[in-house]
């Protein structure tokens, strides 16, 4: 289920970024001798941006699949957990909208993100604006993260929500959670409370039963 780390586009990106970083590093050293602070600042800012891109491309801990678990598991450990699971495919089919994701006894795999099922706080459905014709269906986790399941036409929202509620016991579509979906302080509070309860890898594995 885990996608390959070193796809061709990632390998090429890392090689190109490495070469460009070396070129700009050389330019930075040469710019010091010119004494022009504007040029020096340009090279410093550009190098910082390029190094950030390089880290994003090169290090597995920053992959989207680890969005929920990266504070507690390494990529290798996540891969080991996933290998023990038997995944099934959930599919919603409608003439106007269709989507799918994978699930096992202990995990959901949604939009390339692995979510331990015991970390799911709730599923929510909401519009980003009052007059929007679309409804976002997503998952809020107990450590204050959000993962979109799908954006669907609002006229089939109830059908989608009912289907998800029927198939996944951890989904409640609670009004109390929904009313906080746009509150940054709510997500911050969830994160802080979770980190107080789950302080290390051992706690996390026991909490999620993985």
pLDDT tens digits along 33-43:
776 778 888 88
Q: Distance (Å, rounded) from C-alpha 181 to C-alpha 168? A: 20
CA distances from 182 to 125, 151, 171, 174, 208 (A): 12, 16, 19, 15, 26
Phi, psi (degrees; rounded to nearest 5) at 209: 55, 50
Distance of CA 57 to the CA centre of its chain: 15
Give the single-character DSSP code of 201: H
Q: What mean pLDDT value characterizes the chain?
A: 88
3-state helix, strand, coil in the chain (%, to 5): 50, 20, 30
- The conformation of residue 60, written as its DSSP 8-state character, comes to G
- The encoded tokens of residue 36 equal 């022009």
Q: How high is the pLDDT of residue 166?
A: 95
Q: What are 121-130's pLDDT values in tens digits?
A: 999 999 888 7
DSSP 8-state symbol, 183: -
Within 8 A by CB and 6+ apart from 136, the residues are 125, 126, 127, 128, 148, 150, 151
What's residue 3's pLDDT? Answer: 61
Domain residue spans in the chain?
Answer: 8-58, 65-208
Structure-block tokens of residue 167? 């198939």
* Encoded tokens for 198: 């789950």
pLDDT per position as a tens digit, 131-168: 888 999 999 999 999 999 999 998 899 999 999 999 99
Model confidence pLDDT, tens digit, residues 50-73: 998 888 887 755 577 888 998 899
Domain 65-208: top CATH class: mainly beta
């Amino acid at each position: 289920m885990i996608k390959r780390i070193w796809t061709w586009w990632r390998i090429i990106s890392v090689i190109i970024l490495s070469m460009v970083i070396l070129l700009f590093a050389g330019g930075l050293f040469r710019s010091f001798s010119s004494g022009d602070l504007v040029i020096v600042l340009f090279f410093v800012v550009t190098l910082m941006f390029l190094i950030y891109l390089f880290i994003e491309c090169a290090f597995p801990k920053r992959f989207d699949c680890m969005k929920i678990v990266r504070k507690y598991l390494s990529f290798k450990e996540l891969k080991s957990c996933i290998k023990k699971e038997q995944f099934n495919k959930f599919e919603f089919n409608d003439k106007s909208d269709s989507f799918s994701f994978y699930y096992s006894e202990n995990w959901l795999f949604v939009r390339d993100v692995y979510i331990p099922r015991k970390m799911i706080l709730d599923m929510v459905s909401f519009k980003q604006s009052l007059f929007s014709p679309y409804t976002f269906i997503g998952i809020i986790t107990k450590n204050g993260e959000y993962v979109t399941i799908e954006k669907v036409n609002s006229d089939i929202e109830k059908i989608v929500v009912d289907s998800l509620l029927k198939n996944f016991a951890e989904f409640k579509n609670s009004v109390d959670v929904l009313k906080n979906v746009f509150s940054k302080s709510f997500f911050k509070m969830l994160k802080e409370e979770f980190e107080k309860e789950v302080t290390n890898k051992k706690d996390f594995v026991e909490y999620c039963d993985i």
